Amino acid sequence: MIVNVKNYFITLEQKILRIFEDQLKKHKCIKSNMELFGYYYNPSTDNHDVKSFNTPFKVICNNPETKDLIEEFATVIDNKADQFAEKDSGWILLNFVHLEININKFNPLRASSFIELPPEIVRRQAVVNIRNNDDYCFAWCIMAALHTPTRVDFVTSSYPHYSTVLNTAGIDFPITLKDIKKFENQNNISINVYGLEKYYNKISNNEEYEIIGLYISQMLKKYSC
């Protein structure tokens, strides 16, 4: 019976590699994390329990990266398991239950044209979703935050054209994450971006004018080994 984290990962390596290879055939990039579940015994209390240790999410875009990533994940989980044991908790690892692999499709944050919001967001009536037909969704959303609409709030004609108000020099649209700081500096505006999953949260240090944006992404697969 294997009760060593790194040896356990070695036994599963080929299966994990096949999972990553399959997902990378379908998607240019993915992001993944792992969580290892172990069955523990505490002799001082005569209790049994399942404990787990997980890794942060990492982005994978090439098959050659996956082997190194598996080793990295194994090291992270091994260190967490060692730290748990060193806390004098009294828990002894008896065996591993399973390894859980979470895989999401990865799209670098890029604000593009109009898409419908999920119903749960629409029902809250707290988000203005501008119906633009170009790649400047981000700029139109800024205009909606800065100006009172002259008509309905979700059409671009209700606001001044972004080019007459915003300094977008040197910024490509659809905007990407790396250009948000540049946009903030050029316009004295603070941009906070939040997602519907724990993928990315950017909190700005610029307090001149604060705007909150919503970024939506989607879960792909969960595997157990």
- Give the Cβ contact number of residue 218 at 10 Å: 10
pTM of the model: 0.53
Q: Which residues contact 90 (CB under 8 A, 6 or more apart)?
A: 42, 43, 44, 45
Beta bridge partners of 31: 59, 104
Q: Where are the domains of the chain?
A: 5-106, 110-217
Over its C-alpha atoms, the chain yields an Rg (Å, rounded) of 23
At 46-83, the pLDDT tens digits run 999 999 999 998 888 877 888 999 999 999 999 999 99
Q: What is the DSSP letter of 36?
A: E
CATH classification of 5-106 is 3.30.1490, yes or no?
Answer: yes
- Supply the mean pLDDT for the chain: 81
Structure-model confidence comparison of residues 205 and 85, the more confident one: 85
Measured at the CA of 90, the angle between CA 84 and CA 93, to 5 degrees, comes to 65
- To the nearest 10 degrees (0 to 180), the angle between helices 64-86 and 5-26 is 140
Q: How confident is the model at residue 201 (pLDDT cuts 50, 70, 90)?
A: very low
Q: What is the pLDDT of residue 213?
A: 42
